[in-house]
Chains A and B, each alone.
Chain A
Amino acid sequence: MGWIREKIDAAIRWKATPYIVLIIGCSILLFPLYWTVITSFKSVGEIFTWPPTLFPKDWTLYNYVKVILNSPIPLNILNSVIYALVVTAFVLVVGVLTTYGLVMYPYRGSEKIAFTFFATRIIPPQSLWLPFLIMLTRLGLVNSRPGVISFLVVLVYPLSIWMLRGIFGAFPRELLDAAEIDGATRLQALIRVVLPVVAPGVGAVAIISFLWSWNEFMFPLLCLNSPELYPITLGIFRFVSDEGIQWGSICASGVFAILPGMIFFIIAQRYIVEGLTEGALKT
């Protein structure tokens, strides 16, 4: 048995092994993404050929033209942008102010309050579907933009506050005291001294909040019935019907749905990794 173990150890220890694992792993992970992008450039005929082609024989923009000119997708993209931006802005303003108070100027019970924010993360958003639907109906906000936005806030809020808390916690206290000695008020200190330093972390939180709102599907499905209010996730789903599934349109609009995330991750992956770690692992 000993020699088998040595063989395994040698194989694992081999310098190239982690690279090979990562190349194979990333290929499998990225394949569905590749498949979506590549299919969006295929003609309708080619999408249904067997065997499937790994690469379009003839590149065509037909799917894109169709989606942009003859479907509500551009409007859906606009809706998603509005929803995600409003939610992110709202959560950031409230969240930054709250964590600034909690972390920099602690008071009796501030630890407990911080823990309450942490604890809210185990509440399944799904268990708030129903009260939100009933409340929004009563307020006349079901099937409206504010209705969707209010639920997205619940989705994003607890984790964002928690990540911000970790980010503010890492800020050197001395800088803040120095600013106050220089005569800045506490709010001025926040804007001029603290925010510039924690900006990368806050940016990461903003990106995660944005993507989370952008990707939400179920609540908008339950709450909206006017196609002109649909976010992109619902817009894509409209191409799935009993008559058949329009793969070309799905993949073309899917590319639009994936783009913001791709761009954000490529630009800011380091900060996102740090922010996530802060939010998920630290207490």
Chain B
Amino acid sequence: MRLKNSTFGILCSVPGLIVLLAFIAYPLAYNFVVSLMKYKYTMGGYVGFSNYLRVISSRDFKIGWRVAFYYSVGSSGLAFLVSLVMAESLRRIKRLRAFFRTLVILPWSVPLVLSGIVFKWMFDGQIGIVNYVLRLLGIVSDNIAFLYHPTWALATAMVGTAYVYVPFMTVLIHAGMESVPAEVYEAASIDGADELQKFRYVTLPLVEKQMLIAFFIVWMFTFRTPDLIYALTKGGPGKATFHAGLYLMRTIYSYLNFGHGAAISVLMFITVALVIGPVLYFVFVKRG
């Protein structure tokens, strides 16, 4: 008694599909149902889309989404620029490449939350080493209270987050560059292209897909993950770094308003899908 190959394939996939349904599809559906209910401490009745309307019209929603957008675009943009320079440098060296690649990846082993705590201290207004270095170099004359000014606090969060994602992004962009045959660069040199032109006419078009994916993966992570901000500022000063993820957390955890929380969750999913969907389509369907 021997099963057909395709039947065997189906049997193999069954456990994976069960996990997918039980752990992801069902909770998502359940979450959607809850978002249509009045559910504060205890389950109430069906209220249609009123949770969504309440959430969207609240001030916290606007702040949370605005902060998450600024923060995610800022951190992924900054991480992208740094990663591009690092990856390009990695591409050009012959010796010690594995060594430098290991060094670049190492910071990735730091949990986000620990990064947040360590940055909180390095950027401290009294004993922070960042202030010390800035004063040493004569850039500022007085300590800057990084985490007490709304704009500085958000900028610090962006710098800290960019730091966390540079290793990951560098690896992805570097891998994309590795897939370009060396002959292409040699040909460009023979045609008299200088380094900037090489970057513009060889690297950019050929590694564009990987760069887009790398940028948007990190954008996605930073838009939805509040860990670092939670450790760095808890959303303060005031609500200057009140990330959408913190808004969700507070609604669930402090206010126990599950109906609103579920609506925020769905809105978060929709926001990410609206941004990432077209990108995926553009990268995989139009580009083949």
A and B part of one assembly: yes
Spell out A's residues near B (CB within 8 Å): 5-6, 8-9, 12-13, 17-19, 21-22, 25-26, 29-30, 32-33, 35-36, 48, 50-52, 94-95, 97-102, 104-108, 110, 113, 116-117, 120, 122-135, 150, 153-154, 157-158, 161, 186, 211, 214-215, 217-218, 222, 232-233, 236-237, 240, 245, 247, 250, 254, 257-258, 260-262, 264-266, 269-270, 272-274, 276-277, 280-281, 283
Which stretch from B17-25, B52-60, B148-156, B180-188 is at the chain A interface? B17-25
- The docked-state distance in angstroms from the alpha carbon of A215 to that of B13 is 29
The smallest beta-carbon distance between B193 and chain A, in angstroms, is 10
Please, which residues of chain B bring their CB within 8 A of the CB of A5? 194, 196
B206 interface contact, C-beta 8 A: no
Tally the A-B contacts, defined by beta carbons under 8 Å. Answer: 291
A236 closest partner in B (C-beta):
B114
B108 interface contact, C-beta 8 A: yes
Known: A32-B163, A130-B252, A280-B214. A261 touches B110 (CB 8 A): yes
B106 interface contact, C-beta 8 A: yes
B113 interface contact, C-beta 8 A: yes
Contact of B114 among A17, A116, A129, A233 (CB under 8 A): A233
Contact across chains for A21 and B85 when beta carbons are under 8 A apart: yes
Q: What 4 A-B pairs come out closest when comparing CB atoms?
A: A261-B109, A101-B12, A98-B16, A105-B9
B224 closest partner in A (C-beta):
A124
Binary contact track B190-224/A, C-beta < 8 Å → 1, others 0 = 00001110000000000001100110010010011
- The docked-state distance in angstroms from the alpha carbon of A97 to that of B13 is 7
B236 interface contact, C-beta 8 A: no
The smallest beta-carbon distance between A111 and chain B, in angstroms, is 12
Contact across chains for B111 and A110 when beta carbons are under 8 A apart: no
B157 interface contact, C-beta 8 A: no
Contact across chains for A135 and B27 when beta carbons are under 8 A apart: yes
The smallest beta-carbon distance between B165 and chain A, in angstroms, is 11
